[in-house]
Amino acid sequence: MKPFYAPLFDALLKHAAKAPAGFHVPGHHNGQAMKLVLPINEQSEHPSEYFYKIMQLDVTELSTTDDLHHPEASIQEAQQLAAKTFGTDETFFLVGGSTSGNLALLLTLCEPDDIVIVQRNVHKSVLNGLRLSGAKAVFLSPRIDKNSGLATVPALEQVEAALALYPEAKAVFLSNPNYYGMGISLSRYVEAAHRYNVPILVDEAHGAHYGFHEAFPNSSLSEGVDAVVQSAHKTLPTLTMGALLHVQGNRIPLDSLRETLAMVQSSSPSFPILASIDISRAMMDTLGPMLFDQSLRSVSSFRNWLRNQETTLCEVYYDADTASMLQVDPLRVVLYDVSGQRSGFELQKLLEQYGCFAEMADSRYVVLVFGVQTSTQDVKKLQYAIKTISDSSHKTEKKPKDFQPLSMTNGFEWTSIQPVSFKKTAFKNKAIQRIPLQLTEGQLSAEMVTPYPPGIAILYPGEKITAAMIDYIQYLSEAGAKFQGAGDPSLATISIFAEKADLPT
Amino acid sequence: MKPFYAPLFDALLKHAAKAPAGFHVPGHHNGQAMKLVLPINEQSEHPSEYFYKIMQLDVTELSTTDDLHHPEASIQEAQQLAAKTFGTDETFFLVGGSTSGNLALLLTLCEPDDIVIVQRNVHKSVLNGLRLSGAKAVFLSPRIDKNSGLATVPALEQVEAALALYPEAKAVFLSNPNYYGMGISLSRYVEAAHRYNVPILVDEAHGAHYGFHEAFPNSSLSEGVDAVVQSAHKTLPTLTMGALLHVQGNRIPLDSLRETLAMVQSSSPSFPILASIDISRAMMDTLGPMLFDQSLRSVSSFRNWLRNQETTLCEVYYDADTASMLQVDPLRVVLYDVSGQRSGFELQKLLEQYGCFAEMADSRYVVLVFGVQTSTQDVKKLQYAIKTISDSSHKTEKKPKDFQPLSMTNGFEWTSIQPVSFKKTAFKNKAIQRIPLQLTEGQLSAEMVTPYPPGIAILYPGEKITAAMIDYIQYLSEAGAKFQGAGDPSLATISIFAEKADLPT
């Protein structure tokens, strides 16, 4: 095994070991403030149990600790080691999640009215990056797998057609793999984009572990994309909000990228989050593929068990055409109720009753993520839950229903070869009005409607609302989906852009 | 004492206590991944020592944990309790630092070409908010204290004049107190802005503790401002990046604010950071002013000691005119070398040699922040450091120099009653060129030049570079100031907007 070496974590340890007198922020003063005597009730625990140790590492920009937005010591070394491990030219540690990486890339590459070729079912941070930069989107519909109803990246031919129409595009933005662990090889997309010298950017939030074990798909970096954003916290042993932005080649201006990263992220980044990224990289270097052995064993044993059970909960399967090109993440298990009695949301709730917390549900599926070190015990708990839910299903007489997944195959078309603007000024002559969802058909949405997870916007500001969308939003809302950022979280009403003359006075 | 009650922290504890089987992100799987055996060298420590406990709380949006961007359970309750404690209508917890609050406020209130009346020496995140929203700034010069050379908010008359000229302004944006703990009462500024029905926004990053002890100045909320951003992590026992946005009255559209907060922050916010904000509020409610007793005792004993010493390091003092209206934070100590031998940067380095880490230095001053629970032992360490530095000063024959502080009184005028645009399109017919700093006089800067800390931009994109600025940047750079986000971190060169015809071909 390679020795464990994490320069940023080490620098923080060295600083703490000096027992320095700190006359600086943060105010917790190396966790001392957490040691105060508090009248905690008997069932509870003292916060210092949880926070004291991490607060030893929660420092600020000091001569001993470096500065994320101007790295020249341990953060610089940690980022360079990560670039080597992930096989890229430059790696930037992010403390604002993949969100900050997606925003920064678009703000770096785009000026107002520039065109970006975008897969429509991207994470909302990509749409927000377009909004903030003033760029226009040429939207491409994802390819939908016939069996599962789930969406992957758009067909290569669509990307090629869009590039031929808009060779001046500033970027092609794809999201791969999707939330369900379905991805495809991007090498031919890279060839297509580079034929026009257009950079190809990938939101690989769910694939930070790709390429690190022979059981995993290749990383998109290894397939030649120009920039990749990864949520380190999703699949590596990193604290939440810790993410990575990798850049290779010469199509992304690094000076400008550094500037925009400093713009969209806190000027006082969290050292514990940064150190946890450094530690994750060091663990990958030290343990190699072994880091994922336990999880892979757990997930295989679960799959073997499931295949040999007569349960109403089954794993998703794909159409032969899709399956032939799919690269599937073995650490994601996507289940649905074959008896058609329960939606994904219902399954999620039932699993929770047996102490099993899933990553996400949509109307049809529930998604389980096996993390680094998911144990045999956890798998047993899951098996028990599935067996019990399945047994009770056999007994009920609930009418089966065809639950549609979130990828929205149900009648609305997303390709928009005409560039779409997100700029508020595009609607300057409109007034914003909040009206009942049922009355919005044909209107332009004035807000983003985003079920979370997965964080993919069903409606963006300026998008024309169809009857299918109204049905779908109502269905999701009734089924218990959560929506982020909506003015009316119940979605009984939606803000629309109305002609000023149409408004009641 | 009121019982200690922190609903979000409690919810996380309750979830952890169930020992749930988690099939969700983050990948560290409740810290299990941190328990892996690693070949750590003898001097070092295993990461799990520091990360394991906090990772028990580092979960994702689950039915048991709530969602920051759509709060309806423990986060909602925690925010409502905070609103009560801080005395406001609405409180939003932030995980992206004060940066995210400043960006969100400007994106909420401004559309392109809208006007905002802005104190010039604001934190760079305010300028970035103007850039991202496309708004124009009417810049007001800060008032400069004659003795110290330090800058506070602009004079009331200046704000009134700007409001009279631009009554359509979308906001007045002030920064109070400054990094040195100098603030003034804002009640008359509030009256002036509200006379025009213009909301007044305050970056109170350094004043989250204000109003919670009779020794502290009033909070700006209590003086009637419409929205306040506070870095909870700076002066409360909160993890770094934990911040607060408070809103009162009806001048800030809350729906739109929720949307922009979800836009500029991670869609997977850190629960440990959120819980630490909740805990800080609970500690304030439980302990009341007692929370700050230890720090106030430490800082008084230090001040008493300093007054009775014959050291070359003295505390800053203000002109009588300024002093009469100043409200000073007792927990900040601003020192300088009266013998004129050492710059603030040099003092900071010397203090570090004796194990004392200061918050910030500029060319003249070093700023010490006393956190919650700064101990007598730390004060003794500081006294020893100051005495030793002072003694060595008496012995040297270094030529005294008049070190100027960062507030830049040295010959450049910042008031710009003509609205300034930050939009890239304002420079569409220009090319960007990187040239030596010394050749930039009279050119328009194409980048933001920001020494950090304090994070106040000396130059913004589009600003005309004067000879005084060039001298000042060179001086800061040589003196060891750090710059965030600069294309050339040494600042030997600066990007400028050049006429396309002027460029070498």
Note the pLDDT tens digit of each residue in B140-154.
Answer: 988 888 888 898 999
CA B122 to chain centroid, in Å, comes to: 9
DSSP class of residue B424 equals G
**Predicted pLDDT of residue A218:** 97
- pLDDT level of residue A410 (50, 70, 90 thresholds): very low
Q: What long-range pairs does B125-128 form, CB within 8 A, spacing at least 24? A: B125/A267, B125/B98, B125/B99, B125/B203, B125/B455, B126/B102, B126/B173, B126/B175, B126/B203, B127/B422, B127/B448, B127/B457, B127/B460, B128/A263, B128/B99, B128/B102, B128/B103, B128/B448
**Predicted pLDDT of residue A413:** 58
Contact B45/A at CB under 8 A: yes
Better-scored residue on pLDDT, B504 or A161: A161
**Predicted pLDDT of residue B179:** 94
pLDDT over 70, % of chain B: 95
Across the interface, do B35 and A373 touch by the CB < 8 Å criterion?
yes
- pLDDT level of residue B429 (50, 70, 90 thresholds): confident
And the tokens for B200?
Answer: 């007044």
Element spanning A12, H or E: helix A7-17
List of chain B residues whose C-beta atoms are within 8 Å of the C-beta of residue A482: 61, 67, 70
Q: Is the dihedral of CA B422, B425, B430, B433 positive or negative?
A: positive
And the tokens for B238?
Answer: 């909160």
Residue A412 confidence (pLDDT) above 60: no
**Predicted pLDDT of residue B405:** 65
Residue B462 confidence (pLDDT) above 60: yes
Chain segment A244-300, per-residue pLDDT in tens: 999 999 999 998 999 899 999 999 999 999 999 999 999 999 999 999 999 999 999
Across the interface, do B271 and A240 touch by the CB < 8 Å criterion?
yes
Check: CB of residue B488 under 8 Å from CB of residue B479.
Answer: no
Chain segment B434-456, per-residue pLDDT in tens: 999 999 999 999 888 888 778 88
Across the interface, do A370 and B61 touch by the CB < 8 Å criterion?
no
Residue B126 confidence (pLDDT) above 90: yes
Chain segment A316-325, per-residue pLDDT in tens: 999 988 888 9
- pLDDT level of residue A460 (50, 70, 90 thresholds): confident
CA distance B367 to chain A (A): 8
Contact A256/B at CB under 8 A: yes
In one-letter notation, the amino acid at residue A488 is: D
And the tokens for A27?
Answer: 């105010």
| End-to-end Cα spacing for chain A | 74
Q: Of B240, B222, B218, B219, which is closest to residue B231 (Cα–Cα)?
A: B240
**Predicted pLDDT of residue A411:** 45
d(CA B31, CA A209): 17
**Predicted pLDDT of residue B407:** 52
Across the interface, do A32 and B423 touch by the CB < 8 Å criterion?
no
Size of interface A-B (CB pairs under 8 A): 435
- pLDDT level of residue A414 (50, 70, 90 thresholds): low
**pTM value?**
0.95
Q: What is the mean pLDDT of residues A60-88?
A: 95
**Predicted pLDDT of residue A489:** 78
Residue B424 confidence (pLDDT) above 80: no
Strand A365-369's sheet: what is its strand order?
A313-315, A332-337, A365-369, A360-361
Residue A500 confidence (pLDDT) above 90: no
- pLDDT level of residue B411 (50, 70, 90 thresholds): very low
Residue A439 confidence (pLDDT) above 70: yes
Contact A69/B at CB under 8 A: yes
- pLDDT level of residue A405 (50, 70, 90 thresholds): low
d(CA B22, CA A319): 30
**Which residues lie below 8 Å from residue A439, measured CB to CB, with a gap of 6+?**
none
**Predicted pLDDT of residue A396:** 66
**Predicted pLDDT of residue B481:** 81
Contact A259/B at CB under 8 A: yes
Across the interface, do A26 and B233 touch by the CB < 8 Å criterion?
yes
Across the interface, do A60 and B240 touch by the CB < 8 Å criterion?
yes
Q: What is the DSSP string of A419-471?
A: EEE--GGGGTTEEEEEEEGGG-TTPEESS-BEETTTTB-SB-TTPBPPHHHHH
| Residues β-bridged to residue A367 | A334, A360
pLDDT over 90, % of chain B: 69
Contact B112/A at CB under 8 A: yes
Q: Of B12, B106, B26, which is closest to residue B64 (Cα–Cα)?
A: B12
Candidate from B209, B238, B368 with C-beta closest to A26: B238
DSSP class of residue A61 equals S
d(CA A485, CA A500): 25
B49 to chain A: closest CA residue? A53
Q: What is the mean pLDDT of chain B?
A: 91
List of chain B residues whose C-beta atoms are within 8 Å of the C-beta of residue A55: 239
Residue B500 confidence (pLDDT) above 60: no
Range with the lowest mean pLDDT among A10-19, A313-322, A457-466?
A: A457-466
Across the interface, do B373 and A276 touch by the CB < 8 Å criterion?
no
In one-letter notation, the amino acid at residue A135 is: A
Across the interface, do B38 and A271 touch by the CB < 8 Å criterion?
no
Q: Which of residues 353-412 of A touch B (CB under 8 A)?
A: 355-360, 368-375, 377-379, 381-382
pLDDT over 70, % of chain A: 95
Q: Which of residues 309-338 of B touch A (CB under 8 A)?
A: 333
d(CA B325, CA B175): 16
**Which residues lie below 8 Å from residue A498, measured CB to CB, with a gap of 6+?**
A430, A431, A432, A433, A443
Chain segment B364-373, per-residue pLDDT in tens: 999 999 988 8
H helices of B269-407, where? 271-287, 293-307, 320-325, 344-353, 376-395
Check: CB of residue B425 under 8 Å from CB of residue B455.
Answer: no
- pLDDT level of residue B416 (50, 70, 90 thresholds): low
Chain segment B344-364, per-residue pLDDT in tens: 999 999 999 999 999 999 889
Q: What is the mean pLDDT of residues B419-425?
A: 79
Across the interface, do A25 and B369 touch by the CB < 8 Å criterion?
yes
Region class of B87: left (phi > 0), else alpha (psi between -120 and 50), else beta: left
Across the interface, do B378 and A21 touch by the CB < 8 Å criterion?
yes
Q: What is the mean pLDDT of residues B117-139?
A: 94
List of chain B residues whose C-beta atoms are within 8 Å of the C-beta of residue A22: 357, 371, 378
**Predicted pLDDT of residue A408:** 47
**Predicted pLDDT of residue B250:** 97
Better-scored residue on pLDDT, A163 or B432: A163
DSSP class of residue A248 equals -
